[in-house]
Amino acid sequence: MTPATDIFAELNVALEDRSYPIVIGRRLLENSDFARLVPGKRVAIVTNTVVAPLYLATLTAMLEGAGKRCIAIVLPDGEEEKNVDNLMRIFDTLLQNKCDRKTTLLALGGGVIGDMTGFAAATYMRGVPFVQVPTTLLAQVDSSVGGKTAINHPLGKNMIGAFYQPQSVLADTATLMSLPLRELSAGLAEVIKHGAIIDAEFFRWQEDHMPELMARDDQALAYAIRRSCEIKADVVRQDEREGGLRAILNFGHTFGHAIEAGLGYGEWLHGEAVGCGMVMAADLSVRMGYLEPADRERIVALVRAAGLPIVAPDLGVHRWLELMEVDKKNEDGKIRFILLKPLGSATMTGVPSDLLEATLKACVVH
């Protein structure tokens, strides 16, 4: 008997012949009806040592019950594992199992697994089908949607990758119940980001409902995921390859990526670094005359309420600048930032060095 499934939303990322559905619901991994969104008869499930014991058997049983053959590739967990060695582990297993161009790669996990699996799918035999099954809030609201795939390099985060859209995204909210609180908070950083850059009303909704989100209320989480996916899907539709508009989705990320690289990948979670990065970007927005100080304080308060850090590590001004100079948005050696102008709207710009240094000094731990 097919288990009952709560469907909260079904969206579409409209990219002409690369369009695909996003299904947000509870208990999707148990329902064989959704095997139709996983193309082909052979599926290579890429996951990690934390997620595999929780959901690999359930997902495999669902897919095999629908007549598919599955193999599993279980990688170590952690941002520090998003590297070329683990990418090669994926390729090794695919080649050892004689996987062909009709084999679908399925990412079962958070953003690290999604990014690496997507990059493997983009490059294995020059492209095979790819499905996202995100199991963290951060992946469900952000990284699983839009087709950005990558691995990290010691000199820069996400600098080696490809734009490669999935065939579908299946976001099962039941997986969020097993998330550590720290991981839940990390996902809320991207939810906050979507409100801050595009939808001031959504930002206000979060201010009113952050306690429910932190308590994992089903309806609150479902709305936050759906609205975030709607916002990101619309941005991706307009600018799939980050030629202009899509760059605003990097609000807080220039500072955040510097924190991750400066401390060492995995020391802070990506969402923690982005949360703190948004506080820093809001401070810089005020110094540029783009944002009211009261709205900066609203951002600080919401980031704090989500359980995220609001004070950055003191890397030293020279090291901060060095790290931020390795960023995909930069042009002609100049650092470009996504700033709020005002809350609910974003712009990309260079900034005077004295204002940037003032933000760096004001926002770090003393």
Name the burial class of residue 141, with classes exposed (0-12), middle (13-18) and buried (19+) by CB atoms within 10 angstroms of its CB.
buried
Active site residue 209: no
Q: Using CA of residue 243, residue 246, residue 251, residue 252, what is the dihedral sign?
A: negative
Distance between CA atoms of residues 227 and 232, nearest Å = 9
Amino acid at 212: E
User: Does residue 152 carry a catalytic annotation?
Assistant: no
- Of 148, 193, 287, 296, which is the active-site residue? 148
Considering the candidates 68, 82, 226, 257, report the single residue annotated as catalytic: 257
Q: What angle do CA 343, 217, 36 make, to 5 degrees?
A: 95
- Residue carrying the six token digits 């976001």: 171
Centre a 10 Å sphere on the Cβ of residue 347 and count the other Cβ atoms it contains.
Answer: 15
Judge whether 277 and 255 are in contact, CB under 8 Å: yes
Q: Is 270 known to be catalytic?
A: yes
The reply to whether 242 belongs to the active site is yes
Tell me which of 79, 190, 230, 272 is the catalytic residue. Answer: 190
Active site residue 250: yes
From the candidates 89, 253, 296, 298, give the one annotated as an active-site residue.
253
Buried b (16+ CB within 10 A) or exposed e, 194-205: bbbbbbbebbeb
Q: Is residue 318 flagged as an active site residue?
A: no
Catalytic residue status for 101: no
Which residues partner with 54 through β-bridges? none
User: Of 194, 232, 287, 296, which is the active-site residue?
Assistant: 232
Residue 328 CA: distances (Å) to CA of 79, 153, 243, 272, 325: 19, 13, 11, 20, 9
DSSP annotation of 2: P
Are 311 and 219 contacting, i.e. CB atoms less than 8 angstroms apart? Answer: no
Q: Which of 246, 287, 296, 298 is flagged as catalytic? A: 246
State the catalytic residue, choosing from 31, 48, 152, 250.
Answer: 250
Instruction: Specify whether 257 is catalytic.
Output: yes
Out of 16, 36, 98, 126, the active site residue is: 126
Q: Cite the active site residues.
A: 126, 148, 190, 232, 242, 246, 250, 253, 257, 270
